[in-house]
Structure 1
Amino acid sequence: MKRLITYFTAFSALILASTATPSTVIHAGTLIDGTDSDPVSQVSIIIDGNRISSIESGFLQPEAGQTLVDLSQATVMPGFIDGHTHLSTQLSPSSYLERFTDNPATTAVRAAHFAKLTLHAGFTTVRELGDSDHISVAVKRGVNQGLLEGPRVFAAGKSLATTGGHADPTNNVRDSLVTAPTASDGVLNGPYEARQAVRKRYQEGADLIKLTATGGVLSMAASGQNPQFMQDELEAVVATAHDYGMTVTVHAHGKEGMIRAIKAGVDSIEHGTYMDEEVMQLMIEHGTYYVPTITAGKSVAERAEVDGFFPEMVRPKAREIGPLIQQTFADAYAAGVKIAFGTDAGVYDHGENYREFIYMVEAGMPELEAIRSATWHGATLLAQIDNLGSIEAGKLADIVAVEGDPLQDITLLKNISFVMRDGQVFKQ
């Protein structure tokens, strides 16, 4: 009996050892932790499994069974959060034909590739704001199950629009080629259908709601800024989404559409091109976040000068609206509007998300605040500040690093040298 107990004890110890949570020690030359604290030098970050267990002064030597990651010559930061991406698309002269030529399987393969590019650029979490064929939910699940190499995804699924609105997929398409979209397809009219559309996104596995409160630059419609939802429709979307624990974000360029959305209680405004002092003060009063997407604005303005890149209906909107967003961002920052980082990736080439940092700093935001917009504020907007957004004990081990000091040269963020998501190293 004693021998049996001895064997059982030894076997149990072996099982526990084989399933023990791996432990990692990171030596960080400089740590920007994402909080409002100043950077600190020469610290050790202790990681157990997928969470940070402690941050210690000095370079601690790893104990038996611990793995050392030497970033003693690097600046270490929380994994970046891009609050506005579209992983299933990338703008090109053929983009407007792809929904007629590409099967969902093709789109899914493309999304997997773009997800990997995004992760390797240092963005360990994204808000995926609008797709088709449930691609974003599929990518989210693939990443969570370890089947895909990509960022943690918070998915909106299909964007919500009114008939003829910015996210109506049937715009400018011959009637015989499409069926009339319904609330289940993301096209709604009236508060009843608004509730139905939100509940359908929830049923499909979406994490949040994206709606297009005004016209847009790239849609096949004449106006890029007219309001496209009535107040009762917006209020129905927000109330229903909040009942399901989902945040609501709004694509908006025009002033009136923003005012209606903010009053309805949305959580963030994307683009915000024509916001003025009245809109900014309303956002401050309601605590509404602004996600600027300067990179998308600059990209469409550049591409509008390339003959044949855009349909002629789109080209003048891209020329007019695109260049304005950086100045809007500068005004909003100066006014004290809360800002979370977001790029509209897919409107420009995936993997170039770093460009937003450069444009934000150009417009007057200090380098440290630009980094915090993509860490602390991104996590706050996602309602994930308990898990993400800073390097602190108890939080998920999403960590990136770069050679040099990005507080002196923000362009260094173009070359991320180390990426860890959920305690797993993906780039070193």
Structure 2
Amino acid sequence: MLTLAQQLHLRLFAAAALSISSAPLLASDLYVEAGKLIDVQADTVLSGHCISITGEKISKVAPCGPTPSGASRVDWSAYTVLPGLIDLHTHLADAGQSADIALPLKTSPAATALIGAYNARLTLQAGFTTVRDVGTYRGLTDIALRDAINAGYVPGPRMVVAGAYITIPKGGGELNGVVPNDELPTDMRLGVVTTPEDAAIKTAFLIDQGADFIKTIATGAVLAIGTEPGEPEMSEAQLRAVVETAKAKNVFVTAHAHGAIGIKNAIRAGVRSIEHASLIDNEALAMAKANGTYLVMDIYNGDYIDDIGTREKWPDEYLRKNRETTDVQRAGFTKAVKMGIKLAYGTDSGVYPHGQNAKQFAYMVRYGMTPMQAIQSATIHAAELLGKSAEIGSVAPGRFADLVAVKGDPILDIRVLESIAHVMKDGKVVH
């Protein structure tokens, strides 16, 4: 008997395949000449280096010489080259944020997958060759999108997906304020839990359906009706049940947590990362440092929400909570940088338009990081959080040939990353 995810795949793959795609430039062996090459491992910038690529993988990085026999030379000598970028907080398989809080319900699973395919292409063209997609209201559509990309049906970044939110009833992971929650479709409530035992069962279910990691909702949310960011939601016991169940299956857990109490509950429960951390206090910062917990702080999109949300008349509750969390989150980010806490790049794309993921780099520099640190947060450190340092996140032998090329030098002007000239994924030029 097919799993729910497999049944959904059969319905959605054909729809996703209709997405407009671009034909990548194919080559079995490539020799990429970089004007400058950002070495995120050595914390330096190299000149006159070339990258040898065999199939999907990087085989050698060395000073340039003659093009090896049988290889095609890719002339990026006018560009700065760096690893494919990684955004750890995206919502590709979702209808997007708007003034209409009912939009996710009005958007069918098939339509959600098609929207996700469009968003995936925009994200890849923006230089983000890997994303961690941290949840969708239409459960399992992110799994279908990931598999469609992997099968070559649609272009997009490699995706690490959650399947659905693990949340309490009427919590920050529910679609509240539209219809009574118990009247929502089943696929919108796959991760709703009330007890630790229920949390463990739902965690195992999502992993069995194909989730790569688990996303928990430890506090209320800014963009959810009837919840407050500072208020804890899932209990420490519920969070620990999720973590222990996932750990037994070699799966990581992250926690959406704005408020300090919820952050501490999640860290004590053993989550690998905290999303948002908007209202983090000094004790929680110290706990993150001591436990090696990553913070993924979306410090760009507060300005977008205030500007566009006000103009488009998003719910007043959203705008109020956004104003209450934006500046304090940025202050917490600055403290975390100074303390040397593990920080990885995540933007909450989908709140703002997909493809603009790189706009957060300038904010990270403004609030305390060097340009190199900001780049490392979206490359080597993001790969570390995913447990994929041997595969992605750096330009080094054995890694996937995921590269981006930009005019100018992002070490001198980080904003050049907002305009990507070329993108390579798996040894294929896709933009």
- Taking structure 1 as the reference length, the TM-score comes to 0.91
Q: Hey, what's the Cα distance between the residues in 2 that align with 1:268 and 1:68?
A: 40
1:47 maps to: 53
Task: Show CA shifts across 1:35-88 (max 9, x none).
Answer: 13311101010000000100111x222233211110111111000000100002
Q: Hey, what's the Cα distance between the residues in 2 that align with 1:133 and 1:228?
A: 20
2:316 maps to: 312
Q: Hey, what's the Cα distance between the residues in 2 that align with 1:21 and 1:352?
A: 29
1:202 paired with 2:189, answer: no
1:129 maps to: 134
SS at match of 1:130: coil
1:371 is aligned with what amino acid?
I
Which residue, 261, 277, 280 being the options, matches 1:275?
280
1:235 paired with 2:235, answer: no
Cα deviation for residue 338 of structure 1 reads 0.5
1:371 maps to: 375
2:28 maps to: 22
1:146 maps to: 152
Cα deviation for residue 278 of structure 1 reads 0.8
In the superposition, relative to structure 1, how do residues 202 and 85 fare at CA in structure 2: closer, same or farther (>3 Å)?
Answer: same
Quote the RMSD (CA, aligned, Å).
1.9
1:106 paired with 2:106, answer: no
Q: Hey, what's the Cα distance between the residues in 2 that align with 1:137 and 1:192?
A: 24
Cα deviation for residue 143 of structure 1 reads 1.1
In the superposition, relative to structure 1, how do residues 325 and 298 fare at CA in structure 2: closer, same or farther (>3 Å)?
Answer: farther
Q: Hey, what's the Cα distance between the residues in 2 that align with 1:423 and 1:227?
A: 44
Larger radius of gyration: 1
1:13 maps to: none
The unaligned stretches of length 5 or more in structure 1 are: 1-19
SS at match of 2:155: coil
SS at match of 2:409: coil
Task: Show CA shifts across 1:375-421 (max 9, x none).
Answer: 00000000000111111111111111101111111110111111111
Indicate conservation of the 8 Å contact 1:117/1:350, yes or no: yes
In the superposition, relative to structure 1, how do residues 112 and 392 fare at CA in structure 2: closer, same or farther (>3 Å)?
Answer: same
In the superposition, relative to structure 1, how do residues 105 and 184 fare at CA in structure 2: closer, same or farther (>3 Å)?
Answer: closer
Indicate conservation of the 8 Å contact 2:84/2:425, yes or no: yes
1:137 is aligned with what amino acid?
I
Q: Hey, what's the Cα distance between the residues in 2 that align with 1:93 and 1:343?
A: 17
1:38 paired with 2:55, answer: no
1:166 is aligned with what amino acid?
G
Q: Hey, what's the Cα distance between the residues in 1 that align with 2:423 and 2:58?
A: 15
2:12 maps to: none
1:417 paired with 2:421, answer: yes
1:62 paired with 2:64, answer: no
Indicate conservation of the 8 Å contact 1:143/1:151, yes or no: yes
Indicate conservation of the 8 Å contact 2:95/2:103, yes or no: no
Cα deviation for residue 222 of structure 1 reads 4.1
Which residue, 330, 334, 340 being the options, matches 2:334?
330
Indicate conservation of the 8 Å contact 2:97/2:350, yes or no: no
1:256 paired with 2:256, answer: no
- Taking structure 2 as the reference length, the TM-score comes to 0.90
What is the number of equivalent residue pairs in this alignment?
405
1:262 is aligned with what amino acid?
I
Give % identity: 37
The unaligned stretches of length 5 or more in structure 2 are: 1-25
Q: Hey, what's the Cα distance between the residues in 1 that align with 2:330 and 2:163?
A: 27
Cα deviation for residue 298 of structure 1 reads 2.4
Indicate conservation of the 8 Å contact 2:273/2:295, yes or no: yes
1:214 is aligned with what amino acid?
T
Cα deviation for residue 183 of structure 1 reads 11
Indicate conservation of the 8 Å contact 1:183/1:197, yes or no: no
